[in-house]
Amino acid sequence: MSGNNETFSWKFYLLVVLALGALMGLAEALLGGLARDIGLPRSPVVTGAGFAVMAAGLAIYKQARIIPGIVLMAVFAKWLAAPLLGLPVLCHANSHLAVLLNGAFLFAGVSLARKKIAGNGGMQGAVGGLAAFAGGAAFFALGRFVAPCAHLLSFRYAEGAAVYMLTRVAPAALLGAALFPLGYALGRKLEKRLLPVWLARKPLFAPLAVAGALACWGLTVWLIAAGW
């Protein structure tokens, strides 16, 4: 079987989804907590990191369907903390909604752009920025109805929507535009290293991916338990 076909195989797909989805969940918990501690808005930081991870997955697997898989695994990584820590099932519901919306709009953008993304940093930045902007705007519109939180409700005043767009959505779009191409470039480098390992040492590749995912899940649960 050719390397190209192996890249598109479901086994390789599941391993990439498992590893990068767990990493994305950890990045959201870690960077979100750091941003909050130093006084920066949380959503733009975690959005940019998430888009970088999804871009890396796209570069490695080369098909848009990798994005929904990574997103669902990232949501699972954070949701896992709820039953383990005895938290309500809908804990972090708005955070999950934000990740799902960003992933949905990015999947749509990548599907529309198709082959124009590969090797085109400008197109990558445009797709990442527009998807992050659309995801952020949709989250503000829908998040107040899914699971209203103090953060979103704090923007319930005359100029609240404009302030949210300027201080949360616009920075997230800029970071999405900047970090999506960087994540894609990193993914291309990883793909050149991972595919030969996958082809030559399949029995070892899967346990390493699972071990990495378990480590990320454990750290994510620990960070959430610590209040991050």
Q: From the centroid of its chain, how far is CA 54?
A: 6
Helices (H) and strands (E) in the chain, counts: 11, 0
Task: For residue range 11-39, list pLDDT tens digits in order.
Answer: 889 989 999 999 999 998 899 889 988 98
Task: For residue range 117-157, list pLDDT tens digits in order.
Answer: 988 999 999 999 999 999 999 999 888 777 677 778 788 88
- Predicted confidence at residue 111, as pLDDT, reads 95
Mean pLDDT on 106-123: 91
- Predicted confidence at residue 202, as pLDDT, reads 67
* CA–CA distance, 134 with 139 (Å, rounded to integer): 8
- Predicted confidence at residue 2, as pLDDT, reads 40
Instruction: Say if residues 59 and 184 touch (Cβ distance below 8 Å).
Output: yes
- Position 3 confidence tier, pLDDT thresholds 50, 70, 90: very low
When the pLDDT of each residue in the chain is averaged and rounded to a whole number, the result is: 86
Domain residue spans of the chain: 3-225
- Predicted confidence at residue 215, as pLDDT, reads 94
3-state secondary structure 137-204: HHHHHHHHHHCCCHHHHCCCCCCHHHHHHHHHHHHHHHHHHHHHHHHHHHHHHHHHHHHHHHHHCHHH
- Position 192 confidence tier, pLDDT thresholds 50, 70, 90: confident
Task: For residue range 35-80, list pLDDT tens digits in order.
Answer: 988 988 889 999 999 999 999 999 998 899 999 999 999 998 878 7
- Position 86 confidence tier, pLDDT thresholds 50, 70, 90: low
